[in-house]
Chain A
Amino acid sequence: MSERNLGEVILAVDNISLSFGVMKVLDDISFDIRRGEIRSIIGPNGAGKSSMLNVINGFYHPQQGSITFKGETRKQMAPHRAASHGIARTFQNIALFKGMSTLDNIMTGRNLKMKTNLFWQALHIGPARAEELENREAAEKVIDFLDIQAIRKKPVGKLPYGLQKRVELGRALAAEPDLLLLDEPMAGMNSEEKEDMCRFILDVNSEFGTTIALIEHDMGVVMDLSDRVLVLDYGKQLADGEPDEVRANQAVIDAYLGVPHEEG
């Protein structure tokens, strides 16, 4: 994968530190994500992976450091700005509207693309109608892409876990993001569901050219999918590089094999 021609840096994180009270969650983390790549963040439980994603999409505000997204440098992101500037994400615990259908959930991903006001939308005439058609078509393309036609009208709360994860990916895709953040998309899946999900992640990346930042536990999956891997451990940056480099890194091996830390 390393021979792939990756684009310019879309997101750069410089010297980010985040703490909750005395608890230091992220300690001086710096890395970048380049357009078109699949970038993974791995690490043991509590390493700060999800926190890192939350910093990127503006949910957490770091005390130090800066984030540069599409050339604009800020001390911190705001979630609405992240969304409107093309960052979409999925969550570690599924965060769908359980009572709504698959289609409606995916349509909510189009929310930011809707420009007409409530008045037109309520009457469902004129520009609102055209917009609805356009958005429905985009949502249907996502359904077709993820091969979930059979559950289009089913309430997502009744779907098996693996399918719910797929619907959540669909909602993120419907926003046509430049950068897609996936928080443990394969957690709790069986091996067949994992394989499907890997296929979809690779397909999203190659068909739409979407840049993907992925948090994952399963080392095998990460090493197969990723262009570059960032390893965190207890909020510290342990390693950063291509899968083969990372795999050979002694600090990573220690962290994963559980060598005792000095302080513990």
Chain B
Amino acid sequence: MHPKEPETILDTFPRLLQSHVELRPEQDSMRVKDLGIWQSWTWAEAATEIRALACGLANLGLKRGEKMAIIGDNRPRLYWGMTAAQALGAIPVPLYQDAVADEMAYVLDNADVKIALVQNQEQVDKMFELRERCPKLEHIIFDEPRGLRFYDQEYLHDYKKIRQAGVEYDRDHPDFYDQEVAAGSGDDISIMLYTSGTTGKPKGVVLSNDNVIITARNGITREGLDSHEEVLAYLPMAWVGDNLFSYAQSYVAGFCVSCPEDATTVASDLREIGPTYYFAPPSIYERMLTQVMIRMEDAAKIKRNIFHYFMEHARKVGVKILNREPVSLKDSLLYKLGNILVYGPLKDVLGLRRTKLAYTAGEAIGPEIFDFYRSLGINIKQLYGQTECMVFICVQPDGEVFADTVGTPAIDVEIKIDDNGEIMYRSPGVFLSYYKNPESTASTKTEDGWVHTGDAGYIDDNNGHLKIIDRAKDVGKLNDGTLFAPKYIENKLKFFSFVKEAVLFGNQRDFSTAFINIDLDAVGNWAERRNLAYSGYIDLAGQSEIYELIQDCVNKVNQDLSQDSRLGNSQIRRFLILHKELDADDGELTRTSKVRRSFVGDRYNILVDALYSGQEECHVETQVTFEDGRTGNLAADVRISDAETYPVKTPSRDAA
């Protein structure tokens, strides 16, 4: 933090922008790889772009309080669009770019969007498709003109033309922009983020400038970040985390944000940028680890042995060294050698060589994965957050990182557990309301500002950290009264690299059962090694060798569960490997890749019945939706397998 910055007045994004123009005009604010070369804009250049765009938007009729949708991959012009709208007192509403037109139509209409700033032809086509249903949508602005040369609708505009009109408008009204910025305040609505809606229609979370900026600043203070961080913006702009890490915190601290060239080049762009501050959901860390392991299995024997030797050493002392705990001189020297031979090059390949701080959140992360990265010396920590408070609720403090907790409350955040075991919090980041939805607002936020998270958890007595078990509404009971926490068990299954997704059933049933999605990369590689031929997911998923492989995983989870007196009876008795991968396009996952358990249960109720009726095999036909919105049919005979169960350890003398 820079103590000299007059914090009191930096309460809106255009003002933060102005402060960087004064403090560090020549420092890069934004980068994007275009035609194979990183192009950058300094804070001063970005401010010029934003001023021109804001004037252009005003010229197009965007006024204080009106909404502008932002749809596309992470692109500098889309981020500038956010600030430009905020400069006018208008409200940016970023949408998930891979949503189909139907899903977008609801949000655009619900949010009263007047202008949509979109990336490319794909998004423009969607806007045309839904325009009739969204009469309030007046203008569409596109960033990339490719494929749009024959589109001549008068409500469709090229970004460059809007910008040019803005330059002229600014010349004719030289005081306009500054007056608009001066009229903003910390109480104003900063942004509306639609939650992906695990249940029902998405809700627009209304956040004020104070919500966003104070929370962003608290996060920076707690972790000691500054204007020299490097960040890669590659997660959807509509997600609160991207808004915090790639936008709000960049504006508060003044660090540079880089946008990847393309969704397919993220891994190599990550390596070129070498972020110092990085966020990824557990699935990405998992995938990176899986790829490293597959590559090592294919490497020459000597390389493989060196790798395994030093990784073993890192497992032993790496985490201690990261936590600055004392280790013997020999171990320390060996770790330094390993750093030259293995850890350093490996981190370089992963793009994490310079990473000082890496966060993960959203789902539980497997302890092995977590420890793998930490033992390499990457300070990866879990946090617990929600859109409703601009992310931060709890963060793991440095040196107190445990795989099964989410840490202690972030700065200015209070938490408590209510009588039903639900976690509640209060913070300066707590949202104003759900847009046009007072009932939901009232049921989520209490009079005195406490927010229901919907998550069940407790504070660990040993270390004071918050521990989360499951969604409060998902925690159920088996018929014999055993606590049934599906997510907790699903996560245990997903910690195996062969299991990509798991869906547990058991509430108000006699025992637990599971649907499994295998991980095509990991299982496919395993199969190739054993010369098992397969034509694709559906074929591989039905093979008996694969059933044995997965049964092993399920047995291990059962063994693990049997150690827990409270959850021990919810061991998985029967399971099946699903004939298709769960997909957000079919509504089976949310856009943030979380399983919609009850939807899946309804959709495949024939399979659920088969699990409980003792059948060995079940024929199922499923409708699938392709990326372009067309549908097709998928039929399969799904096998059902039994798993081993183990006697439950009773809570006797050595209960853990």
Task: Write the residues of chain A forming the contact surface with B, with a CB cutoff of 8 angstroms.
Answer: 103, 136-137, 140-141, 143-145, 147, 149-150, 152-153, 203, 206-207
Contacts and interface: CB of A to CB of B under 8 A. Distances in A.
Given A140-B36, A141-B35, A143-B36, A149 B147 contact: no
B376 to A, nearest CB: 25
B262 interface: yes
Given A207-B147, A207-B149, 6 more contacts: A140-B36, A144-B34, A149-B262, A149-B265, A150-B268, A152-B36
Interface in B128-155: 146-147, 149-150
Contacts of B149: 206-207
Interface string B526-548: 00000000000000000000000
Interface of B: 34-37, 146-147, 149-150, 261-262, 264-265, 268
A206 B265 CA distance: 27
Contact of A206 (B37, B150, B264, B268): B150
Contacts of A141: 35
B265 A150 contact: yes
A150 B35 contact: no
A141 B35 CA distance: 6
A207 B146 contact: yes
Contacts of B150: 206
Contacts of B265: 149-150
Given A206-B150, A207-B147, A150 B264 contact: yes
Nearest to B627: A192
A240 to B, nearest CB: 28
B89 to A, nearest CB: 36
A136 B34 CA distance: 13
Contacts of A206: 147, 149-150
B37 to A, nearest CB: 8
Nearest to B35: A140
8 contacts: A103-B36, A143-B35, A149-B261, A149-B265, A150-B262, A150-B268, A153-B268, A207-B146
Nearest to A103: B36
Contacts of B35: 137, 140-141, 143-144
A102 to B, nearest CB: 11
Q: Which residue, of A149, A150, A203, has the highest number of chain B Cβ atoms within 10 A?
A: A149
> Which residue, A143, A144, A147, A153, has most C-beta atoms of chain B within 10 A?
A144
B208 to A, nearest CB: 39
Contacts of B264: 149-150
Nearest to A203: B147
A18 to B, nearest CB: 40
Closest 9 CB pairs of A and B: A140-B35, A150-B264, A140-B36, A149-B262, A150-B265, A149-B261, A149-B265, A144-B35, A137-B35
Residue in B36, B146, B147, B150 with the greatest tally of chain A CB atoms within 10 Å? B36
Nearest to A144: B35
A144 B262 CA distance: 9
A247 to B, nearest CB: 25
Contact of A147 (B34, B36, B262): B262
B417 to A, nearest CB: 46
A144 B35 CA distance: 7
A222 to B, nearest CB: 22
B93 to A, nearest CB: 28
